Amino acid sequence: MDYIYASAGDVAELQDLEGIFQNIISSLLALAGIALFITLLLGGFKFISSGGNPKNLESAKQTLTWAIIGIILVALSYMILFLISEVTGNKKILNFRITF
């Protein structure tokens, strides 16, 4: 994948949006993965430390449920991007790279 970076004096072009879009999507997917992992750990810790208290147990189950729903949504969003890349023939949309 070739990225063309414009210098400070260059005029922005429409093709520059492709790189920006790829960076945004890859960053959001990475952040979502980290957030889901932390949420799963938090839910598991709440479940283990509930001590049989029904209120704490229900809170832990709800946290784990929302974490699993989040995982499903992230997977569906990736599948939608894959479908878009197959329909349009643009395989670059799936080349995620986190840049800082």
Q: Encode pLDDT of 41-62 as tens digits.
A: 999 999 999 888 999 999 999 9
Write down the residue that tokens 């980290």 correspond to. 34
In order, the DSSP letters of 35-49 are HHHHHHHHHHHHHHT
Delimit the domains of the chain by residue range: 37-100
Q: What is the pLDDT of residues 27-44, one digit of tens each?
A: 888 888 899 999 999 999
Burial 62-87 (b: 16+ CB within 10 A, else e): ebbeebeebbeebeeeeeeeeeeeee
Res 20 pLDDT > 80: no
Whether the Cβ atoms of residue 35 and residue 69 lie closer than 8 Å to each other = no
Alpha carbon distance 10, 2 (integer Å): 18
